[in-house]
Amino acid sequence: MRIGIDISQIVHEGTGVGTYVRSIVRELLLIDQKNVYVLFGASLRKLSRFTKFYNEVRVINPRVRLVTAPIPPTILEFVWNRLHVMPVEWLIGQVDVFWSSDWAHPPLRGAKGVTTIHDVSFLRYPETFAKTILDVQKRRLARVKRECKAVFCDSEATKRDVVQLLGFENTKLHVVYPGFQEH
């Protein structure tokens, strides 16, 4: 199987989502030597961070490749979340599964979609978020609800919130707790 993963969030070093993506990709590559992984990273100025990460993980698993695009995340958000055009396969080739980031959900030509919802605090406390973030998340999650075959939630509480506040089917939601790193 060919599995595509959006690693765009790793350019934000030190953030929770960036750390989450880095960690889950490393662990997947350690435990799964059978499938082929296509890591996709989009950033205008930080493409070298993808190459650095790729050089670290390809030692773990040689069945991984990297595809980068010099596209700012705001452009991908517009193209993927607003217009919902340009399937990710046009950039990375055919994949069986594509795991999207927490920011942009691309159209998929043939792949089954998977994403992660870390929390829905933007719905619980909308007054604490910029309108642009609220709009992005609402657009993205409307598409995710219709199109993704599976959604990872960081906790049982997030899973309950996603069912109650967004009306997702419980059967497509899976709790995948973030890991930890020993220092």
Q: Is residue 183 part of a domain?
A: no
Q: Give residue 59's pLDDT.
A: 96
Q: Is residue 39 part of a domain?
A: yes
Q: Which domain holds residue 68?
A: 2-175
The answer to whether residues 121 and 162 touch, using CB atoms and an 8 Å cutoff, is no
Q: Is residue 161 part of a domain?
A: yes
Q: What is the mean pLDDT of the chain?
A: 92
Q: Give residue 63's pLDDT.
A: 96
List pLDDT tens digits, range 80-119.
Answer: 988 999 999 999 999 999 999 777 889 999 999 999 999 9
Q: Is residue 61 part of a domain?
A: yes
Give the CA-trace dihedral at 14, 20, 24, 26, to 10 degrees. 0
Structure tokens at 172: 């497509």
> Number of structural domains, the chain?
1
Q: Is residue 78 part of a domain?
A: yes
Q: Give residue 104's pLDDT.
A: 80
Structure tokens at 180: 């930890």
Structure tokens at 115: 């994403």
Task: Please work out, in degrees rounded to the nearest 5, the angle formed at the alpha carbon of residue 175 by the alpha carbons of 165 and 92.
Answer: 95
The answer to whether residues 49 and 57 touch, using CB atoms and an 8 Å cutoff, is no
Q: What is the CATH classification number for the domain harbouring 35?
A: 3.40.50.2000
Q: Is residue 87 part of a domain?
A: yes
List pLDDT tens digits, range 29-76.
Answer: 999 999 999 999 999 889 999 999 999 999 999 999 999 999 988 898
Q: Is residue 167 part of a domain?
A: yes
Q: How confident is the model at residue 182 (pLDDT cuts 50, 70, 90)?
A: low
The pTM score is 0.91
